[in-house]
Amino acid sequence: MQRAYPEKPEQVYFFGTCLIDLFYPEAGMAGIQLLEREGVKVVYPQQQSCCGQPAYNSGYDNEARKVAAAQIACLGEELPIVVPSASCADMFRHHYTDLFADTPLHKQALELAARTYELTEFLVHVCKIRLEDNGPAATVAIHNSCSAQRGTKTAQDAISLLRQMSNVAIVQQERASECCGFGGTFAVKAPDISNAMVQDKCDNLLATGANDLVSGDCGCLMNISGALEKRKDKLPAQHIASFIWERTQ
Amino acid sequence: MSRFEPATVNLEFDKRVDDALRDQELRANFRGAMDFLMGKRAAMFPDKEDLEALRSQGEAIRNRCLSQLPELLEQFEQRCTENGIQVHWAETSQEANAIILEIMHKHDATRMVKGKSMASEEIGLNHFLADHGVECLETDMGEYIVQLADETPSHIIMPAIHKNKQQIARLFNQKIDGMEYSEDVDRLIGIGRDVLRQKFFEAEVGLSGVNFAVAETGTLCLVENEGNGRMTTTIPPVHIALCGIEKVVESLQDIPPLLRLLTRSATGQAITTYFNMISGPRKPDEKDGPQEVHVVLLDNGRSRIYADKQLQETLRCIRCGACMNHCPVYTRIGGHAYGTTYPGPIGQVVSPQIWGLHTAGAITKACSLNGACGEACPVKIPLADLIRRLRYESNNDEPTTVPAPRGQGSLRKRSEAVTWKLWALLSRKPGLYKLALLLATRLRALTPKHIGPWTLYRSAPKPAARSLHELAAQRSQSNASSQEHGRNE
């Protein structure tokens, strides 16, 4: 069942995610600029850090809970929260409520979950964005994260944004829905299995002949482009927000 | 690997994974087989909405039956007894083995044929009986191949899926007297059948698993494709069914939706060749069937799983194996790498709960939490959530759940725990977090080229020159000043 979407609000919170914060800030800025161009004022709380997912997925619930509580505190006003990562958005939407079950913060966690949106989802369904492509012709492979496919279920929104781009041809990779092998700490706790997965993902992506790779999740991007770089293959990779922002100015 | 040794699971897990990843033939076999099975399942569920409706129905049936499990088990026992089936209760694998051996002894039996039963693998029945002078012969073709090779099943539905035609041809050539080398699949199966057929007539006891145990009627349901299950349960004078206590369903009406889900999810079949419903021993006017039917109800940790509200979801499993077929990790390392009777996602959930986290908890790390398993599961077991929960239980040294899975906290590493504590401190103190960002961005030129296991296969990510925190603060400042500017004009 599709989620009910509100009218476009005047103001939103932007939750940047820790990976974007440190490694891909241009993706975060592109997200902020896209929202502002749609007439939505963006509040970026300076107290934010990480959604807590790395610890949560590793089975360190107590540590994850403390960090999660700090995010709830700095996203306290009743504004929609836009997250440029399906994985962190999924953490807000589905796992905070488990993490805070039977605690005083449970109600706030439920409320936070209800007003969290993944960036492409928000642009498509709330802003009803229309994009004008000013970029050169490009052949693009898209990698949807497992969280976008199965958590927030927003994989289709990234695709529909790319479809609005008149000079972009989307190419299908084989086994498109298969995990790239990142999985947060999985990549370091089971490095050999993770490597087997990312090598196949790289092969499938290169076989498409694409000249760009886009994804809505920087975890996957870091994994795939890191592996491509190590094997000295060239396939420029970008967060979908950067890709769209650059082509639509 | 010739035998499942619980004690070695955690200890040798990394080595098993390593060996599996290096074995290119094995990897090709699994990739091909899993792609084939995923395709077959997808073809069986062309309509997404129908599939979701059926999955919800399956989930609801299993939940309803589990919610009244104690009562249904009592009813099942009563109906079985009325039907002339002898019911035994086994709390542990040792008890189950002893009960089965006692039945064998009562009949002076030394030969057993078996229809596929993962529960008998779980309790180590073959080796136990061999140690007591009983010969067990697996009669499912895949199980037979695995037994010939002195291995254990690598998949719960397709035990020999890790082997290709050539490997099986070599195996038959080596192990079966007078068998020439042949890659003709029909010929290979024909030979296997000839060998097995004789054994069906000689065995005094046939042992099978149970797919569904119906409380309303005391019926044992058995799903199979080869007819060996039917022969195992009808030809020998004694039939023993080994049944996990979670397999009970309320009524016959519960079976059709579950059966539809089971066969379609498992092998992409609309229906299997055989569906056996066993409701008692041979009656005086009947021409075939065993003279005695026994059912051994196996707990072996299941009531412990049952006691935890979240972990109880584990018990919905109808053993279709779809989670394995869809797991990108299983596809690459295969079933033996897990070192447990039950491999793949459901194995990562079941095994540490049966054998304890201290014994089998390490296999939970072989999961990227991608969720493909839960998406394929016909009864919607949230496998990724359960795997994550067991990771928590492995690390958590303050007992909070009653009753906790055995071995709680046994995999906690001090260095790891300290790292997460520091991470938590950094991530909830905005001042510290921003200081760390500042240091990482300003000192980005000093980013190490090697960062633990990450850079074994990937280049090191380099921090940006300015963090998003900084860029966003600058932007809001300049927005504010331009607004200010606008007002002044």
Round to the nearest angstrom and report the end-to-end CA distance of chain A.
35
B476 and A44 within 8 Å at the Cβ level: the answer is yes
A178 touches chain B (CB under 8 A): yes
A193-211 per-position pLDDT tens digit: 999 999 999 999 999 999 9
- Return the axis-axis angle of helices B255-267 and B24-44, rounded to nearest 10°: 140
d(CA B137, CA B126): 9
B37-50 per-position pLDDT tens digit: 999 999 999 999 99
d(CA B384, CA B386): 5
Q: By the 8 A CB rule, do B228 and B115 touch? A: yes
d(CA B152, CA B170): 18
Helices (DSSP H) in B123-254: which residue ranges? 125-131, 141-148, 165-175, 185-202, 228-234
* B160 closest CA partner among B131, B180, B138: B138
d(CA A91, CA A232): 34
Chain B residue with the nearest C-alpha to that of A94: B385
d(CA A213, CA A101): 39
Q: What share of chain B in percent tops pLDDT 90?
A: 89
The pLDDT-based confidence of A1 (bands split at 50, 70, 90) is low
Average pLDDT, chain A: 97
B454-487 per-position pLDDT tens digit: 999 999 999 999 999 999 999 988 888 877 776 5
Beta strands in B314-436 (DSSP E): none
Q: By the 8 A CB rule, do B38 and B264 touch? A: no
Residues 116-145 of A with CB under 8 A from B: none
A193 and B366 within 8 Å at the Cβ level: the answer is yes
Phi, psi torsion values for B342, nearest 5 degrees:
-100, 115
Cβ neighbourhood burial of B430 (10 Å; 0-12, 13-18, 19+): middle
B459 and A193 within 8 Å at the Cβ level: the answer is no
Residue B486 confidence (pLDDT): 61
A100-134 per-position pLDDT tens digit: 999 999 999 999 999 999 999 999 999 999 999 99
CB atoms near residue B376 (< 10 Å): 23
Residue in this structure with the two tokens 């633990």, named with its chain if needed: B452
3-state SS class at B36: helix
A156 touches chain B (CB under 8 A): no
* A198 closest CA partner among B328, B18, B451: B328
Residue type, A139: T
B154-163 per-position pLDDT tens digit: 999 999 999 9
Predicted-complex ipTM score: 0.97
Ordered DSSP codes for A68-92: HHHHHHHT-SS--EEES-HHHHHII
* B239 closest CA partner among B230, B248, B247: B230
3-state SS class at A13: strand
| pLDDT higher than 90, residue A170 | yes
Residue in this structure with the two tokens 């488990």, named with its chain if needed: A98
List of chain B residues with pLDDT < 50: 489
B434 and A199 within 8 Å at the Cβ level: the answer is no
B394 and A59 within 8 Å at the Cβ level: the answer is yes
> Which residues on B lie below 8 Å from A56 (Cβ)?
388
Q: By the 8 A CB rule, do B391 and B410 touch? A: no
Residue B487 confidence (pLDDT): 59
Phi-psi region of B124 (alpha: psi -120 to 50; beta: other; left: phi over 0): left
Residues 413-452 of B with CB under 8 A from A: 416-417, 420-421, 423-424, 426-428, 430, 433-434, 437, 440-441, 452
Residue type, B229: G
Chain A residue with the nearest C-alpha to that of B20: A193
Long-range Cβ pairs for the range B442-449 (8 Å, 24+): none
Residue B193 confidence (pLDDT): 87
A179 and B457 within 8 Å at the Cβ level: the answer is no
d(CA B127, CA B137): 11
**How many angstroms separate the Cα of A218 from the Cα of each of A27, A139, A143, A151, A193?**
9, 20, 11, 16, 20
Distance from CA of B172 to the nearest CA of A (A): 32
Best to test chain B binding among A15, A20, A22, A217 (most B CBs inside 10 Å): A22
d(CA B228, CA B142): 11
Long-range Cβ pairs for the range B169-178 (8 Å, 24+): B171/B145, B172/B148, B175/B148, B175/B149, B176/B148
Residue B24 confidence (pLDDT): 96
A16 and B426 within 8 Å at the Cβ level: the answer is no
A46 and B460 within 8 Å at the Cβ level: the answer is no
Residue in this structure with the two tokens 């195996």, named with its chain if needed: B171
Residues 53-112 of A with CB under 8 A from B: 54-61, 63-64, 66-67, 69-70, 74, 98
Select from A63, A64, A187 the Cβ nearest to the Cβ of B454.
Answer: A187
Average pLDDT for A179-187:
96
B457 touches chain A (CB under 8 A): yes
